[in-house]
Structure 1
Amino acid sequence: MDATVPLLSHKEKMKFRWTAIDRIQLLSEIFFISGATVALVYFASGHAERRYLLLVAIFGILLSLTSTVYRSVRVHLWYGMLVDAWVGFALTFLSEVSVEADISNRLLTIEQSLLFGGFMMRAVCEYIAAVDGQFSANFQHNVPWGSFLGILLSFSLVVDDSLSVLIHLLRAMLYILLALMLTLKVSFALILFLVTVIHDFVCSSKKDDWLLLFQYGLITWIYIRPLMQFLFGRRRQFQCWLSVFHLKALHYNLIYIFYILLTIFYIASHLLAAVKHPQLTLLWPVFMFILIMWLLIHFPYWIFFLSMFRRFGMESVQNCTQPICEQTRTRLHLMNNCLRAYGTVVFWLSGCAMLSSLFLSLCLYSVITLFSFYSFLSVIIFELAIVDLSRLLSNSLGGSCIAHALFIVQNEEDKMETLGNRLLQFFKKRMLHFHRPRSLFRHNMEKTDLLHEINSFFACTTEDGLQYDSYFFYYNGPTDVQGNWQLKDDVFTLDDLLTCWRANILKSNSRLLIMIDAENAECWLKEVEKIEQDAIALQTRVQVADAELGSADVDFTSSWLNYNDSEAVDEYPTKCRHAASCISVLPSFEQSFASSTFKFSNSVKFLETVSFWKKTLPDRMVGLVDAATHLNSGIAFLCCNWPTRWRYFKSRFKVILRPNILDTDHDFVFCNSF
């Protein structure tokens, strides 16, 4: 590789990361903020605090302009909090001045502000990301904390009664408490929700019990959704329960039935609320259309998913004698086509719902029309959860990323022969592409040869010419006191590795996953922590200062493999605790990217879906699937491929607390302790 290749600056890298998701999100923010700004100016003409409202409207315009001109502010947490707070304030104020305010309407107003402030401007972006196989869960992003501030500020401006303001303050605090309960303990929050429902049915004498029931259900669902995504997308126990190796129909059926019952509850509450409010009778045809389409869509695809996993998943994953390229191709066909075919119907269903509800909201602006608007949005949110569940099942075949692996072992070949074979088998089941797997051991390696080997490793691309999503680098050999790798003629430092990485990974958003089983390897951890512009994660061991426990017989790699072995899911906690208490090293990792930084490499072309479905479905259904697939692929290509094949990448807000486990999305994790 030519050493004179110029490196990209931080500004140029940010330019390459401006994806279709960013464009759609930016347009949605400008649209909703502009509409609310016009409404604020209209109502400010007859309001006592019109100057204050005009300042709020100007602030909303400045938010839109700031995100348009300076894209870098969009990755900061404070910007999302400001947008949520502004939208919460605007919608709450408009709802208060447009109808007669009472306790029920104000409760409905809080729900509207939370939903719009936290979800509306991100629903389209999250939907596209989920359909294309990638969804990241982040409480700071999915829970609209900033909307509470805007709601309380708006109530203090509109409501004159101090006692009423205090009631709403207490109610908002109750919602915050409910969110914290859901964050810490799911069962306790569900018990609280059931107690509230029973109280409304038994103890309440009001006529709008069903409307209140729906309100409590919506608030609960707003906070359950990110929590469910966090559990299903980030917790290894859930991944193992639903993996192809131990696929049990009972687990999958129970989860699916839970979503079905929840959706039926929403649809029933929508219809009963429409009976209470005559203005919602116009939405009956749309509700019935969504209900019928949902029943016709979900059950066939439920059967298709199960049949395809049993037909292709078990055979392709467990049969390790197959060439690795065939396994990868089978997994990609299964994953891409399931998500794309499923997303074909969901895309049009959700799109029609959003357009129709938007039209009704513009024609009849009131609390009731806003209620109809987020009724359709709740259907979209449910579809996101279903698509995310299907993505989780597809990830059990090896993950949604494509990885390339290089192993450098300089220790004794006799000692590492068994461990090396186990490493290859472990990553072969995870469907990683190997870089020269036959030359696992290196003897008396010089620095020039190692640099050439690493440069050729980083220069490797997929069959479509794209760079891999992840590059996994394993080293086992001698090191000096600073953690540098000792070679025959020189030492290999972290700066040397980063130089090779930046020289080859120019316009890509790939990640570098490093695992080092050597002495003094913890010296590199602090250096990786300081890296800001590259996505790098390092898994290594930390030496414990204990004279009685020697480190000569420590088998850190074997302990790490035992921890990540999905076949020993029922036993690995006991094994890991025993290993941590008996050996003198503890695992530790450091990362220079947010834990939600994941990408999806679209390595299967659109035209290949036709041949796949012809082998899977009956002949009489192939024509319908082909037409829907071509239509969906054409729209997705025009929207998201600009001008080349689109690859989703977006770093979410960095988490405040450093996670103990980093999910690499390849069916193995990096951890701080066993």
Structure 2
Amino acid sequence: MLTLIHQLSGFRLLSVLCYLKRVEFAERMVRIRLADDGEVWTFSTLLVSATVIVGTLCALVPVCLKHQTSDCISATVVGFSLLIGAPVAFRLRYCFTFLIALDAWLGYALFRLCDLQPKTPLPSWLQTVQIALLYGSLIIRGVTMASDIFSRIGSSARITLGRSAPWSCFLGALLGYYSHPPNAIVLHLLWMISFLLVALAMAFKVRMAIAIFFSLVMYTAFGGGRALLAEPITIADQIAMVTVAGWLFTKPLLLLFDVCTNAVQRCMVIFKLNRWTYNILLVGNLLAVVLFGVAQTVAALRHRQRIVAFSVFAPAGILWLLLHLLYFRALWSLSCPLESPNGQPCAERKLRTYVGKCFDPVAFMTPLACIIFTASLAGINWLTHDLLSALSFGILSTIELTVVHIMHTMFKGFDNCVVLGIATPVDSQVQRADGSGHLLAAELNKFFDQRGVEIDDISYYTEGIDMLTAKQRLEHFFESPTELGRQFDTYFLYYNGLASQENGDWILTDGNLSMDELLSLWTDHRGTDRCRLFILLDADNGAHWSYRITTLKGKQAIGIQSYSVKEEANWRGVSTGSFTRLWLEFNYNIRCGDFGNTPFTPLFGQSFPGYCFVRTPRLPPYESKTILSDLFAFLYLNAMSPIEHFLMLCWGACMTYVPPAVFDTNQGVKFVTNKRIEPYY
């Protein structure tokens, strides 16, 4: 009996400890969700950067000392050039830039392996395992990037993985298998094109862009695979392949973790993965890494390279397994909604704040240092063709870094936002017993508060509002900068009330407020700061403003969401705040579809195509620091200005002729249109 009591006590103690550990881990994940960009990126980027750098050096240094060939020396140079960027990675604002440079140079090492001359044949089963793992890593990378696309575009584009992936993969496989393996420059150009296509797919929801992206991924996979099948590779190349494969395995996990956290806080989790799915992914990735390591170890042992095998594969394998374990543990906790220990649901705040609004040349000098060191040793150990290839690849990686930075400001950068709401419903509906007007103001407060939007004021005027009070409120609203200053701020203006039947002007107690008067106030206070103004009109005649805003001259970022009633019979079902409640439900809903069977047809007009959807794609301004950085910034900005203008031209043309169906403001707020707005005359 005493033994049984002792066992029960031990079991209770173990249960209590497990519960405390679970609560502690839940608290950590709650803090991660509520954290700023710095805490989230510190957890992810530094771990990946340190793991890849250590794995690269562990894999390349012993081989370089053992063989002392030009290929090993060049691979070691790449590893040490990555090590140069490590201090940059430990500065928080450069982590994203460092990861892009890291990805580019490891990709270059992978592409170099396709052109190396073989010296030692390998067994057929080992080649098959290598090709299968290479295919799997590239496919997983493509799928995770596609899931990022789907989480942004929603289901309104009617794009599904089942529709686009099979045909594009089949096309890419044919292109890759029946063509000669291209060189590093061509492959990297394909990756740059695929990145631009991904950006276009995220913006315009073009089904063909996703299909082309999958084709390029499969083309790269089968092209490199055919090169490995055609000619066996050396032991040094095997070890270099381990490093590259480790990055190919960890990069999708980083993307998946980033996508999950990003989608959770934006209420746009289009893809849902249960815990069994995470278990399958975990076991599959771990098995792939173990099989790859075993295959490489067997190859090394067959050629009596025991020292290399035990000194390289053991620490690298342990680091990769630890990395997978940490990532999937985080994904496990994100697979279901978390609750804080006190039982209150987690507030869905913004997880990230883009701080790179000022150009810092240190971030862009990292790939330049890699280029210089690699090119200097390339001139000693390589041929002239290899030297030109390295320099060309360095130039392409710098251009890619610029494009990534611009695209990052467009899609990843969360701007600061402030909102003002004015509700003046019809007099006959003010005295309703349910108090719909007050409930409407409370719902708007809750909606913007959950998205971390600063609320200037949301007022409910039961007896209307006069012209002077309205202009004073608007002036105070436009003069309210957010925490990080005025540049790139976003302003939401909500109006619910009467509007003139002739021109949609707001009907106030002592006159009408026209759109020209409102825009003049906006121009006086914010028109030159490159800020954005979004107006949500819940008024019967608000469609006039949505049409008229398309004729506005200039490059001001102004968008107006309104509605029109589909049929006369549906007027009876339209009451105070009906469109607002449907709009809130549309934004709360995970499925980003249309308004469905409702009496409203949403209309969205914008002043300048592309300016309202996302922030203008421009290189950030530069702040003077040192003489060297000033010189580099001057040369870099002047050299990249044609790319900036070219992207601006393409962006404006695409937004004019291929407008998206859903406009996402990057604050978790979406505007919708079911009808293309033509210029109103």
TM-score, normalising length: structure 1:
0.47
Which has the larger Rg? 2
TM-score, normalising length: structure 2:
0.47
